[in-house]
A = this chain, B = another copy of it.
Amino acid sequence: MPYDEQPLRPLDQTEESLVRALAHVMMALPRLVDADMVGDGGLPLSEYTPLMFLSEAPHRRMRMSELATACNLSLSGMTRVVNRLEKQGFVQRAKCQEDLRGWNAVLTDEGLARLQEAWPAHLTSIRRHVLDNLAGHDLAALTAALERVATTP
């Protein structure tokens, strides 16, 4: 796409390849992992992720807005995910005592059990698709770069 006028240097071949590979990963990887997980553990990433964050939180509970931020979801999106999880008995809502406008999503015992059941499939999938393909790379440096990518305004 030759096009000039501004001091906008087009991508060179190396950069172009990287961008396309990254685009491919972003489109394909969530589906690949989801397929592995529903094939085995039966829990899609969209539900696994919030259960995971809840399991790590104090008292296994988080405010809806915290959880939405952690999962990179809009607040309304989080509302609907938690609705699904609540219907399955994996999460309960509890009014937040310090601020009666707020709600906590609380991981139930059943939810924790479900998470532990899904964990092996998740771990296996992530190892196979991601970590096994990054052998020999400097993971810490890569992580730092990815964190910048995700947060550059």
Interface of A is mostly: helix
Q: Please tell me if the beta carbons of A30 and B25 are within 8 angstroms of each other in the complex.
A: no
Is A97 close to B, CB under 8 A? no
A133 to B133, CA, bound (A): 21
Q: Please tell me if the beta carbons of B143 and A18 are within 8 angstroms of each other in the complex.
A: yes
Provide the residues of chain B in CB contact with A49, threshold 8 Å: 23
Q: Please tell me if the beta carbons of A120 and B8 are within 8 angstroms of each other in the complex.
A: yes
Q: Which of B22, B29, B32, B132 contacts A130 (CB 8 A)?
A: B22
Q: Which of B29, B55, B72 contacts A150 (CB 8 A)?
A: B29
Q: Specify how many copies of this chain sit in the oligomer.
A: 2
Provide the residues of chain B in CB contact with A29, threshold 8 Å: 26, 149-150
Interface centre among A115, A129, A141 (most CB of B within 10 A): A129
In the assembled complex, how far is the CB of residue A45 from the closest CB belonging to chain B, in whole angstroms?
A: 8
Is A38 close to B, CB under 8 A? no
**Contact A19 B126, CB 8 Å, known A30-B26, A120-B3, A149-B25:** yes
A98 to B150, CA, bound (A): 45
In the assembled complex, how far is the CB of residue A106 from the closest CB belonging to chain B, in whole angstroms?
A: 18
Interface centre among A6, A10, A149 (most CB of B within 10 A): A149
Q: Tell me the nearest residue of chain B to A152, going by C-beta.
A: B129
Contact string, A11-41, partner B, CB cutoff 8 A, digits 1/0? 1001101110111111111101000000000
Could you list some 5 contacts between A and B, CB below 8 A? A6-B120, A11-B123, A18-B130, A18-B142, A134-B149
